[in-house]
Structure 1
């Protein structure tokens, strides 16, 4: 940086004088902020924020870049590599001066002259913001200051989803063009400035925009002019707002990062070329690769300082060679093409998500091609569950952290927290420490605390103007950013800090500020503990605050149990089924048990309510928001008790699995009634205060019940479901007691073949029954089959071809039909995995996500088979499945009744299906 002679002379004069003339004018509280003649806009921004803080406490402030007379105190803002600033600091620290690293700063005040010196432009900005915060806190500029600071994490960022709660008509998941109709907030410059200011205040240095395929809204590709998804007027608006956003972000030291999913193309492009916009089972197509590469090149050429966040999953096959080829032969070359067109050699950063891909393997091939690479993985999946991660998920993070690039931790979705407020500083601090010490990571990518799909609004029902997430959830952003900067802050000091923040916000004393903090921290343990010990998944297909069905608690494996939740995303402990089995067998328990969590959440709910009640009478500011916070604490208490008593009931039912003693079921009944009573409290607390629980309101939401068409998103809607569950349980207990119960067997009605014309040439068929060969190239045969499936016309596939290319079946049907697909119940690359919404957003597009008949078929020498169904409308259709062995068991009419149960055709242990008790 070039420094003018006049600037140097001015510095020397001020650093060597006795300042007697300045002291004489102290009463006027005049102060001058001095910048070098040539400086980055981040220093302008920092100086303006510092000026505002000083003015608010009574100073008369001038910002100047020349040698005109200075009247009053002086603050010099610059860089540590400025020779004069460096010399002055060495003089002020005669023993030694340790200059901070990247984004760090030094603040030094002596004799009315303050130096704010950054290791770089961002460091100088943060130094100004730190000094401004201290001025606000002390209501004056301290006479003497010696501060040196720098961040621990290299990247500290938040994200905004340019997405919506529901799918757009005729479009797939993540497909949302940037238009004023879809996202009016995207064009609101004042809103952007408020948000960017909040990021800068929290010293966040990155902002991720999440989208499926943003390029068709932002760039035009010469070879594919028809691919643009917006009209010319909107395109110009997009160009203008995007440049504005990138520039304003840079002014605040924030790196803008555009995310996109692969492989998704624009709708006009797909229609022109007779393709789907996305198809998980489609391999790389040359025209799609060319279009994507040229789109990326055009984007980099237009916005060279914007980074890219890459998802090689959900809309691709998942782990496989296609991922490596797509990243190394399409994405990276596209970036390089854009740079070449600009004549630049500096590489914009690329962040690779470890989502539904083998990221370490992809990086092995990518690193020789491109240097400025980062990796990213979800911290606790799509939830917040623990600061004690372990198991295979921790192993992946450690592996990514060890390959020589920075690993970023993505605190993602928070499906178990929405919609209630969350502000446990203690839990958050421990999570960031775990990111460093357990995962070895050095970056943070933070999602909104709730309502990600509904940005910028919260789910609160205020009866008028909706609340903004950045306002309501201020403590969420402030806590994560505070500990991303420095996670090693002493607990006592943090209690004092947060008590002060809360006291200032709500107009109470520090004692009651501590009470509010206690309410946040007690309630902040409830959702993580409940999900990690009782949940089905960490994914957003489960809305935990809406509760769970008893059948999901006692037979979670029937609902697509996501095992990482239990083997990685919590402290070592036991599932409900493990606990019940050990109790029955009188075996010792290990770690965190369901009973411990039951007791814990009941206590935490009570303590949280007691703490918030203590503070209530002392609130003098923002009473409306405090009232909403208090209501949320009461909601957490009701939620904790509803879950706890339902879990108690489930443990009695699981005992019945071994005892066959009706008394165990009868003991569950009052616990289930108590659970429902607490859920009714939750209904009353939320019916007028919340618009919804879950912000993702599509058919991907499955737990506790399906969320199709934005239904079943409130507690009022779920209450009849839980009431019916209780009524059914009472009735089924009575039926078990009846004399006929022991002899009674459910009548199983065999399914019949639907009317279809098979279009796939050469495919063999067979009658599904014992002794039938299931693959045309192996000799394995059916050993046993559920009664419903007997004699269906099944399709004999070539197993070797399934492993290499996947499976497909084309047919024409005059009426809607279901295709029955059998998945081998074992996690192995040779078997097609069952649909999993955690990694495949399209995994319920055909209603295929749930197991219909578990353990329905035994095949000689192979794992048991679970049956899923794929629904198709009338017409000519193709079922396309990924790589791996599976069975296509038949086609039935769409209205055919298929019972949901476990046929028990397995060699596994006690897999007794208890769901019937609640149906």
Structure 2
């Protein structure tokens, strides 16, 4: 596109409606046009803006060239922003209407939580300029919002337990507020500024809260109990319902262009959900007169209540976690189908990555593209909420930059890495594909290689790191997907917790087992999940590596079932088998290490080389973790075979794999003691403490089992003959 001066041609006659409903104030429209103008001016370009009414989507745009002039047409100011972005990035398709694949493109910002010893209590609601200084740092927050806008995110999910007393004047409930007047005014001013700046960039703010959490100051008055750092009740009284209607009403009056992101939570009784949402949440939203967007998160949600929602409130979306509290596969949980065409739309919550993929760098364009494409192909998914890979300890990573660093937030002394500096590519990749999934493989490879080349100041580094992101993409998801021993917010996959031999054998029995999560309410499955199809990149490499070009099954055979086949002398050719899956995971980790070392060698910038050194140590973590898992899986296979065949000849190999798993894990613990403060941003666990102790305990347990298994026992037969045989113990 040629360089030209700038002319704004947009007249606002009235406020327009957003794609997700609700009225948009005229002033918000004006500020969005100003923001679009600033994008064009900053790039030294010129364009005319024109509001039209024929593009059929409030974020759609069309760029025309008329007598040498560039004209950006849109249904609303939101479309003008995205048209301006396309124009300055040379992504415009002249004369064609361009619009997003997903209406809700969101990410998560956690407001609250408090450091408690070695962990963060996530449900603690209080925040102020001392506990969350970054939230009040307007230059940083401006930079963050610009990052979201650049990636075309249009929704910010503000997570908290019960944030209202920290944002609102509540004269009828003075005991609810623990802040002094000055701090409350500061909180309100900052939140109002945030909402305004979000609106300027076409980003809606959705405030999250848990039902039924309450202010600590009203705990006794309402008969609440302590629950994970919050005050909560199971069966809300009429007085509590009155309080909630009051605070929600004040919230909607105080702030423009906001909505709610509502979680029933584990606390609210299932039997009370219908009346609570009908008489409190939905009633307050209707009475606001603003038709705010509401998103209901399916977590412990009553299945019968779900069917009632369409009749209770119109501007309402459902939401469900992609793979529960994990990211194991590009294929979403089968339970999403229960929400097909039920409400205005459905949103996928990519919840697990804060734990599963931490603490390393992770952002595979190939795997993310496949994941988002799967969401689009479902047809009824209208949006996504993408957790950052550092959520509870935002805005920092867990990288250890000094030998004595430990803990979270205010506990950490010295320099820290900002997550958006280290891993901003994660948001950029998701944002790109949430906007448009139909992109060619080769074109995307070139795009991301150039992206990384610009960030690290070297085309060679860009090529090496693109490969690094691609080959590391399947590792952490694949490790958890193989064994399916546990899911949840509590540990990182690469930490290898909950990978004891007996857990591996019990977690998955048959490849066609009906998942427990499909028969119970979400959030009530005792942290058990099930295996899903692996990603296509991993699958194609597996087929080639194993010489099985006709293989179609993308779910691996469980360890226990595979051992059963081996015990009968069988051979598996119609499914991926556990030891070969582990071999490929190890191979990908080795490739990652080679790519990271080559990238570091190619760089001549000292600052860049330092960060590339962390790619190297991340790769070394992957190498050690995949090897440790392989030893555990091989040991589990051997134990299962011994239990079935009572073949003690397998004992030596079994014990060798168990001992090697600990030896490799000791190297992993030693490495991570130098590289990361914690394995994730919530629980304060580390390889050197909890992880190594668990591996050593499993070795001791299996040694004891093996000794008992091999112990001779005498059996007296009916004819008086004594037979000596091994005792098989489960």
TM-score (norm: length of structure 2) = 0.82
CA contact (8 A) 1:332 1:370 kept: yes
Aligned partner (choices 695, 711, 725) of residue 722 of structure 1: 695
- Distance in 2, Cα, partners of 1:236 & 1:566: 49
CA contact (8 A) 1:118 1:125 kept: no
Does the alignment pair 1:176 with 2:150?
Answer: no
Q: Which aligned pairs between 1:472-483 and structure 2 lie closer than 5 A?
A: 472-483=422-433
- Distance in 2, Cα, partners of 1:183 & 1:569: 38
Structure-1 residue corresponding to 2:406 = none
- Distance in 1, Cα, partners of 2:124 & 2:729: 39
Higher relative contact order (CA 8 A, sep 6+): 2
CA contact (8 A) 1:100 1:150 kept: no
Cα 1:489–1:557 change in 2 (3 A) is closer
Structure-1 residue corresponding to 2:358 = 418
TM superposition outliers: structure 1 runs of 4+ over 6 Å: 567-570, 740-743
- Distance in 2, Cα, partners of 1:595 & 1:158: 37
CA contact (8 A) 2:323 2:350 kept: yes
Structure-2 residue corresponding to 1:68 = none
Does the alignment pair 1:262 with 2:245?
Answer: no
Aligned partner (choices 111, 117, 122) of residue 162 of structure 1: 111
Cα shift at 1:477: 0.4
Does the alignment pair 1:125 with 2:81?
Answer: yes
Matched position secondary structure for 2:358: coil
Q: Which aligned pairs between 1:100-499 and structure 2 lie closer than 5 A?
A: 101-109=57-65, 111-134=67-90, 148-164=97-113, 166-167=115-116, 174-276=123-225, 282-317=234-269, 320-337=270-287, 339=288, 344=289, 346-358=290-302, 361-389=304-332, 393-394=333-334, 396-414=335-353, 415-438=355-378, 440-449=380-389, 451-463=390-402, 464-499=414-449
- Distance in 2, Cα, partners of 1:230 & 1:913: 60
Cα shift at 1:124: 0.2
Matched position secondary structure for 1:453: coil
Cα 1:607–1:568 change in 2 (3 A) is closer
Cα 1:403–1:586 change in 2 (3 A) is farther
Matched position secondary structure for 2:213: coil
- Distance in 2, Cα, partners of 1:119 & 1:80: 5
Q: Which aligned pairs between 1:21-60 and structure 2 lie closer than 5 A?
A: 31-36=5-10, 40-54=30-44
Q: Which aligned pairs between 1:752-831 and structure 2 lie closer than 5 A?
A: none
- Distance in 2, Cα, partners of 1:719 & 1:562: 22
CA contact (8 A) 2:471 2:592 kept: yes
Does the alignment pair 1:581 with 2:564?
Answer: yes
CA contact (8 A) 1:666 1:733 kept: no
Show CA shifts across 1:567-603 (max 9, x none). 7899434322232234335567563432332122122
Show CA shifts across 1:361-390 (max 9, x none). 43432322321111111011122111234x
- Distance in 1, Cα, partners of 2:115 & 2:47: 52
Structure-2 residue corresponding to 1:619 = 603
CA contact (8 A) 2:61 2:73 kept: yes
Cα shift at 1:75: 2.0
Does the alignment pair 1:599 with 2:547?
Answer: no
- Distance in 1, Cα, partners of 2:532 & 2:586: 25
- Distance in 1, Cα, partners of 2:708 & 2:225: 51
Structure-1 residue corresponding to 2:663 = 677
Structure-2 residue corresponding to 1:553 = 504
Cα shift at 1:727: 5.0
- Over aligned residues, Cα RMSD in angstroms? 3.0
Cα 1:405–1:653 change in 2 (3 A) is same
Cα 1:472–1:662 change in 2 (3 A) is same
CA contact (8 A) 1:165 1:454 kept: no
Cα shift at 1:515: 2.6
Cα shift at 1:633: 2.2
Show CA shifts across 1:658-678 (max 9, x none). 123332232112222333333
CA contact (8 A) 2:102 2:383 kept: yes
Q: Which aligned pairs between 1:6-85 and structure 2 lie closer than 5 A?
A: 31-36=5-10, 40-54=30-44, 74-81=46-53
Cα 1:283–1:620 change in 2 (3 A) is same
Cα 1:277–1:649 change in 2 (3 A) is closer
CA contact (8 A) 2:271 2:302 kept: no
Cα shift at 1:419: 0.5
- Distance in 2, Cα, partners of 1:236 & 1:168: 30
Cα shift at 1:166: 4.1
Cα 1:244–1:146 change in 2 (3 A) is same
Structure-2 residue corresponding to 1:58 = none
Matched position secondary structure for 1:269: helix
Matched position secondary structure for 1:657: helix
CA contact (8 A) 1:165 1:695 kept: no
Flag the structure with higher helix content: 2
Aligned partner (choices 696, 699, 706) of residue 733 of structure 1: 706
TM-score (norm: length of structure 1) = 0.66
